[in-house]
Structure 1
C-alpha cells in the first residue's frame, strides 16, 4: 500500500506540473498599479481604471500593491524636458505592471482614453531603458495624452523588482516619449509611423555606436524619405537630440538591465522553489 501511495503522489505531481501554466508561481508582489493622483482621489475615476485593469489582465486587484504618482513626480521629469508643469488635478494616466506575465514585454493601451502615446511608443521607450519583460496596461478615467504614464510605469518596475532606475535613464526615456508626443500633436504623421521610424533609427545608431548629432540627423532624414514621412527640420533635430541622450546613457542602461535581470531571475527562482516546497509538504 505504501508503494502505491508513493507512486500516486509522484503521478499527481507530474500531472500538476503539466497543468500549471508558466508564471503560475508568481504572486501579488509581482504586480503593481500606479494611479495618477487625480484619479486616485476620485472614487468613480479609480473604479473605472480598476475595471479596465481587471478586464484586460484577468486578475483580482485586491492583493496588488499600488502607488500614487503625483504631479510633483511628473514635473521632476517634465521640467527638464519640456518645461511643462502639471497641477495635482491634471494627473489622470494610470498603469498596471504585471510581471506574473513574464514573457517578452507587452503593452496594452486603452485607446479610447489615451489619445497621443501608443503602445508602440511605450514599448520602444521601455526597451530603450533596458526593460524587456512583463505586461504593462495603461488607461485613464478621462481622455489624456498618456505622457505622464511612463513615470508611473517605471516607478512600478522599481517597486516590483526593488531595483532603482538611474535618473539618466528615466530622463532619456521620458524625453523620447515627450519628443514624439509633441511631433504627433503638431504634425500629420501618425504615432505608429513615427514610432516605427524612431525604432529603425535607434537600431541603426546603436549598432554603429553613433553619438554625433549631425550624423543622426542625416540618418533620420534618410528614413523620412524611405517611409515618406513629412516632419519639420526642427522635429528632426529634436528627435536626434533625444536619441543622442539615449546613446549617452547606454552605460547606465546596460548596468540597470543587468541588475534588473538578476533581480527577476532571483525572484522567479525563489517563487518556484517556494511553490515546490509547498507542494511536497
Structure 2
C-alpha cells in the first residue's frame, strides 16, 4: 500500500514539475538573485553582495538562478520618472527574492549600504505592484540610495514566477519609490513617517476609489496637518501624482496578482518541493 502511495505522490510531483514555470526548478525553488551590472562585473563587489545574501538568507548564491540588471533596464524606467540616465558603472544595487518563505512579504535591507530606501518603503511599493509574499533581501557593495533596486526586485519576481509585471504597474511602483526618496532627501520627513503616511493615504484612496488629483492632494495635506509633518507643496503634489498613478493601475495589479497566486498555489506563501515530500515522510 505504501509503495502505491509513494508511486502516486512521485507521479504527482512529475506532473507538478512539468506544470511549473522555469523559475521553479527543483534545484532553485522560488529563489532568484538580480545583480546590478556594475556589481556583477567587479569580483570584489559581487563577493561582498554574495556574502550578505549568504549570511542573511542562509543560501549558497552560486546555486541560485541569477539575472543581471543593466543600466538599460533601469533607464527604461528612470527615463520616464526622474529623467536621470545611469551608466553601466552606476548600477550597484542587488536583490535576492525568496518565494519559498511562507507568509506576508518581508524585506531585509543592508542598512550599512542602502542609505535612503527602507524595508517598509520597498514593501509599500511592492504591494502597490501586487506583490504580497516572499522574502526580499537588498544590498549594494557601495553606499547607494536603493531606489534602482526595485527594478531588479521586480525582474526577480518575473524570473521566479514566469509572470510578467505589466509595464504600467512597474512604472507606478518605481514612481512611488522615486518620489519617496526625493521627499526623504529634500524635506524634513523621516522614512518611517513617510511610509506610514503613504500607506494610510493609499488605503483611503483605494477604499474610496479616488482618482481625482485635487482630492488626493487635500487628503495628503490634511494628513500632514493632523500629524505635524512638514512637506513642501511641490512634494505634496508629486506624492499625490504618484499615489494617483498607483490607483489608476489597480486593474492591472489585480490581474497580475491573480496570475502569481495561481503559479505559487496559494495567497499566503511560497512553493516548496521539500515541504511536499516531508508531509508524506519521504
Normalising by the residue count of structure 2, what TM-score does the alignment of the two structures yield?
Answer: 0.87
Residue 271 (1) aligns with residue 273 (2): yes
SS in 1 for 2:211: coil
Whole-angstrom CA distance in 2 between matches of 1:269 and 1:116: 32
Higher RCO (C-alpha under 8 Å, 6+ residues apart): 2
Q: Which position in structure 2 is the counterpart of 1:59?
A: 59
Q: Size of the alignment, in residue pairs?
A: 259
SS in 1 for 2:231: coil
Whole-angstrom CA distance in 2 between matches of 1:135 and 1:273: 17
Q: Which position in structure 1 is the counterpart of 2:187?
A: 187
Mapping 1:218-257, distance limit 5 Å: 218-257=218-257
Whole-angstrom CA distance in 2 between matches of 1:201 and 1:54: 37
Residue 104 (1) aligns with residue 101 (2): no
Structure 2 unaligned regions, length at least 5? 3-24
Q: Which position in structure 1 is the counterpart of 2:93?
A: 93
Whole-angstrom CA distance in 2 between matches of 1:147 and 1:268: 26
Q: 1:268 to 1:182 in 2, by over 3 A?
A: closer
Moved over 4 A (4+): 266-270, 276-280
Q: 1:58 to 1:240 in 2, by over 3 A?
A: same
Q: 1:175 to 1:129 in 2, by over 3 A?
A: same
Structure 1 unaligned regions, length at least 5? 7-24
Which structure's CA Rg is the greater one? 1
Structure 1, residues 128-147: CA drift from partner, whole Å, max 9, x if none? 11111000000000000101
Structure 1, residues 62-95: CA drift from partner, whole Å, max 9, x if none? 3200110000000000001110100000000000
Q: Which position in structure 2 is the counterpart of 1:46?
A: 46
Q: Which position in structure 1 is the counterpart of 2:15?
A: none
Normalising by the residue count of structure 1, what TM-score does the alignment of the two structures yield?
Answer: 0.87
